Amino acid sequence: MVNRFVNALEFVKFSHTVFALPFALMAMWTAGSGRVALPVAGWILACMVTARTAAMAFNRLADWESDRLNPRTAGRHRLVSKSGGALLLAVAAGLFIVSAAQLNRLCLLLSPLALFIILFYSLTKRFTSFSHGFLGLALGLAPVGAWGAVRGEVCDAVPLTLGAAVWCWVFGFDLIYATLDAEFDRRRGLHSFPARFGVPRTLRLARALHVLAVAGFFAFGWLAHFSWPYFAAWSLAAAALVWEHRVADVTDSAAINRAFFNLNAAVSVILLAGVVLDTWL
């Protein structure tokens, strides 16, 4: 039973929750001015975990055959059976909607749309080279949704700016990660950006997107009236992104994997720490 649970976590790359979750917590913390009821925080966390689990389970099912043929992902289908993946998807999707309903009416009404967007990403590589942008959109919804959970509305410049910055950030780092599969995607007829335009152009676009992301994170802090603790964290996050691109220029899959996980996890956690410290100090 323990092995099955561990395999299920690996199947959906549960550790990668660290990418979007801190931004949802940033929006939640900012919307509540550092004071958020524990049940609200708990249901936001439940929404984040179940939404991402549903998205990753659907991604694994949609790419089942391709993943079996790709040397980098060939072991994924051995972790969980296809029927087990479908059950995981159904349970996670259902729990996401139930969790959203515990927050407020707006979250409940928007939950099917949010679920559609985060699942739809997995199909986009079949018809567009900009599937990485759809992943950015899916993760960029996280801070907007968390803001709506606390405030009951989402049409505010603060969460929308943070969501746009997350969109650029994710779009950029997924482009870097996709360079690992450029040749495989080309052979399989999958429309990833690196497969169509090549690795050098991909890395240039990723750099441009991360410049926009850094500007967006700064604008978020300015709109939220943060002070030096946040902007000190912002400086560290910007430095981490600069280092990520230095690592990505090395044609080494292990280095790119480190850039994808360690440095991007650092970006999100550092910015969250900056928001929390700014409220406390």
What is the rounded average pLDDT of the residues 24-51?
A: 95
Three-class DSSP category at 221: helix
CA distances from 187 to 75, 100, 115, 148, 228 (A): 20, 41, 31, 43, 49
| CATH at 57 | 1.10.357.140
- Sequence-ordered alpha helix ranges (H) in the chain: 2-11, 21-31, 38-62, 64-69, 82-101, 105-120, 131-151, 157-178, 182-188, 193-197, 199-223, 228-248, 253-258, 264-280
The pLDDT-based confidence of 36 (bands split at 50, 70, 90) is: very high
Question: How crowded is residue 75: how many other Cβ atoms within 10 Å of its Cβ?
Answer: 11
> Which pLDDT score, from 0 to 100, does residue 110 have?
96
Q: Note the pLDDT tens digit of each residue in 211-260.
A: 999 999 999 999 999 999 999 999 999 999 998 888 776 556 666 666 66
Q: Per-residue pLDDT for 18 more than 90?
A: no
Q: Note the pLDDT tens digit of each residue in 260-280.
A: 677 888 999 999 999 999 988
CA 59, 62, 65 angle in degrees (round to 5)? 120
CA 84 to chain centre: 24
pLDDT above 90: percentage of residues in the chain: 57
Q: Is the separation of the CB atoms in 54 and 92 below 8 Å?
A: yes
Question: Of 150-154, 162-166, 255-259, which range is least confident?
Answer: 255-259
Q: Is 158 exposed, middle or buried (0-12, 13-18, 19+ CB in 10 A)?
A: buried
What is the total count of domains within the chain? 1
> Which pLDDT score, from 0 to 100, does residue 7 have?
55
Domain enclosing residue 223, as ranges: 2-280
The pLDDT-based confidence of 204 (bands split at 50, 70, 90) is: very high
**Sign of dihedral through CA atoms 162, 56, 47, 49?**
negative
> Which pLDDT score, from 0 to 100, does residue 114 have?
95
Residue type at position 194: P
> Which pLDDT score, from 0 to 100, does residue 189 have?
77
What is the rounded average pLDDT of the residues 64-88?
A: 72
Question: How crowded is residue 90: how many other Cβ atoms within 10 Å of its Cβ?
Answer: 12
- Sequence-ordered alpha helix ranges (H) in 102-151: 105-120, 131-151
What is the rounded average pLDDT of the residues 121-144?
A: 91
Q: Per-residue pLDDT for 157 more than 70?
A: yes
Closest C-alpha to 136, from 150, 147, 121: 121
The pTM is what?
A: 0.89
